[in-house]
Every structure is written in C-alpha cells, then in structure tokens.
Structure 1
Amino acid sequence: MSSKNSRIRVALLAAVVAVTGLATAGPALAATPAVAAAVTVTASQAQEPAIPTDFVDLPTSPLRADAPQEFTVTYRNNTPTPTTVAPQLLVTSPDAGPYLAPSDVKVERRTGHDCWMAVQPGSQTGTLFTDLVGAQRTLGAGEQLKERYRVTVVNPEARGTVLPRVALYG
C-alpha cells in the first residue's frame, strides 16, 4: 500500500473517531460528570476531545417564564499553574416531565463586544446544555473566567431549573 493511501486511511479513521467521540460523548458529558473509557491514540491519529475531570456547580435558579434571566458563570484559577476550564449552562426539566426541548427556551451569551449572541443548546433526556468543546479556555494563575448568559422562555408552559457550572480539565 502506498504512503498516500495510508495517510488517507489514517485521516479518515481520525475523522471517524473525532465525529463519533463528539456525537456520543458530548451530550453525556454535558448532562452529568462521567468517567470515560481510556482510548489509546497513536501519533498518527487525531486526539480525542478533552474530557472534564470535575465540575464546579454554581447556584441554581428556577426557570422563569415572566422575563429573561441573566446568569454569570465565574471561576477563579487559584492554582499556581494554568488550568483549562469551560463555562456551561444546564437547563434541567422537572423529574416528572414534561421534558424541555431546545425550542422551549432561547439561550444567549454576552460577547466581548457587549452584544448578545444566540447559543444553540444541545439536548439529552430533558436537559438542555451549552457546548463545552467550543467554550474551553486556559486561565493563567490568578486569572478569572466571567461569562454571561441570558435565558428567555419561549414556551410559557416550560418548567425547569437553570444550573450554571464550570467544567475543569486535567
């Protein structure tokens, strides 16, 4: 087999591993902390997305239909070394249902230009969640993460709880 064919096969395998890992692990990781099975990755394969090792839960609030709610996700790196973190907003359904759908709420994130940008939440078993992969950043020693979100109820029948949190890596 030529080296060109070998490289194409390795690239295709890496793409399949990356897509499969994101599709299957992303929602599950967002909904609850989980321990993932170890995967051996050789130098010629793409690396798996980082998996959070812990979450810092911030105070919860009931989902209100009467007005948009703003949430600030903050975390300070009090360690002497850089730490990778990701802010996340969960909107959980009542235990007895009905389960929330992404169309029940509008989630927005405040940008560095002081504008609100729509965030498409993922969904798993009635829990809506913002993406962890795109939100990852590294905080230096003493640096602080501060991310603002706004949740607006679109379906007045929607009920649930908003849980802001920070995913910690490594």
Structure 2
Amino acid sequence: MPTRTIPRRVLVLTVAALAALPTATLTAPAQAASATPAAAPPTASAATAAPVRFVDLPDTALPTDRAPHRITFMYRNDTPTDQTIAPQVLVESPPTGPFLSPSDIRLEQLGGDGHWRALRLGSQTGTLYTGLIPAKIVLHSGHTLTETYRITVLHSSARGTVEPRIAIYA
C-alpha cells in the first residue's frame, strides 16, 4: 500500500485552523429533521472562523548568531473590499531535523507604543508558530499592513527558516 506524506506546513495550517474553532462546533450533535421549521444550528462566529487561505511572504534563514534581528514584512490589500486578516510567523525546522522547540528562540513584536512584547510560540511537527486569533485585524481596501518583529536565537545549534504569512478570512 503506498503511503502519502503530508507537508508540515499543511499540517500546521490544519491544526491552527481546527484550534481556532470552538469545541462545541466540532462536537455539536446532529439536528433531527422535523416537520416544523427550526432555527439554524449555531455556527462558528467570525471571531473564531478558520482562515480561507494564506498569503506566503518572503522567507529568510533563521539567524544563528544569537543576536536580536529585526524582521519587517508588509502586506497590501489590493482587493476592492476590506479584508479580515491575521499576520503569522512560522519558523520551520530543517526537513531532516533536529526539530526546533519554543525555548530555542525568542520572538517579539513591536507594538504601536514603540515597545517590544514577547510572543508565545506554538509548536507542531517541527514548526514554531504565532497565534492567529489575537492578531486579527481589518485591513481596509488599498491599505498596507507593516509588521515588525525581533527574533533572537537562544541556542547556537538552532537552524531553520522564518516564514511570515498572512491569513485571509472570509
């Protein structure tokens, strides 16, 4: 029987999307059919809906000199309507390992007040990632989002690729 490999990025996307859904949505019992009209079953709200697609931004090698490095990326909404989006940073381990751990790097985001704030990193199958739901914003048509992060490798043996992306919601 042939085996099929699921790319790590697809697996992380699936896990992140499923984690965004409330448990009740995933385990709600089926509604029985009845002769009288009933209200539609509850659905996930826009606040917890999964992204419909991702826009990958240029990636870079994970710096290995243990010094803080700025990473800035931009995304422009060229659509005629406003978009609900969420920036996300993935740090991919090398395909042959060793897998990165959240304790291998420190990732900070530059806030609107000019201060850096540390971001928690999730970990799934060798990929570190920032959360999506806390990062959601509405980007108006024709506007550009600029995000600035600071990444510091804490262990000299850590290797990988920094892959920023934008999650697009319906």
Normalising by structure 2, report the TM-score: 0.74
More helix by share: 1
**Are residue 121 (structure 1) and residue 118 (structure 2) matched?**
no
Question: Match for residue 61 of structure 1?
Answer: 60
AA aligned to 1:128 is L
Q: 1:30 to 1:165 in 2, by over 3 A?
A: farther
Any conservation in 2 of the 1:101–1:128 contact (CA below 8 Å)?
yes
Per-residue CA deviations over 1:89-120 (Å, capped at 9, x if unaligned) read 10000111110000000000000011110001
Q: Stretches of 4+ moved more than 6 A in 1?
A: 30-34, 38-44
- Give the percent of matched residue pairs that are identical in Structure 1 and Structure 2: 47
Per-residue CA deviations over 1:66-91 (Å, capped at 9, x if unaligned) read 12221123111111211011111100
Classify the secondary structure of the residue corresponding to 1:28.
helix
Q: Distance in 2 between matches of 1:129 and 1:60?
A: 14
Question: Match for residue 29 of structure 1?
Answer: 13
What count of residue pairs does the alignment treat as equivalent?
A: 141
Question: Match for residue 109 of structure 1?
Answer: 109
Shift, 1:158, TM fit: 0.5
Question: Match for residue 51 of structure 1?
Answer: 50
Any conservation in 1 of the 2:12–2:127 contact (CA below 8 Å)?
no
For structure 2, list consecutive stretches of 5 or more residues without a partner in the other structure: 1-10, 19-24, 29-38
Classify the secondary structure of the residue corresponding to 1:168.
strand
Question: Match for residue 22 of structure 2?
Answer: none
Q: Distance in 1 between matches of 2:132 and 2:85?
A: 9
Per-residue CA deviations over 1:111-149 (Å, capped at 9, x if unaligned) read 001111000111001100011111010111111111111
Question: In the TM superposition, what are the counterparts of 1:86-165 in structure 2 within 5 Å?
Answer: 86-165=86-165
For structure 1, list consecutive stretches of 5 or more residues without a partner in the other structure: 1-26
Any conservation in 1 of the 2:51–2:167 contact (CA below 8 Å)?
yes
Q: 1:70 to 1:127 in 2, by over 3 A?
A: same
AA aligned to 2:162 is V
Question: Match for residue 5 of structure 2?
Answer: none
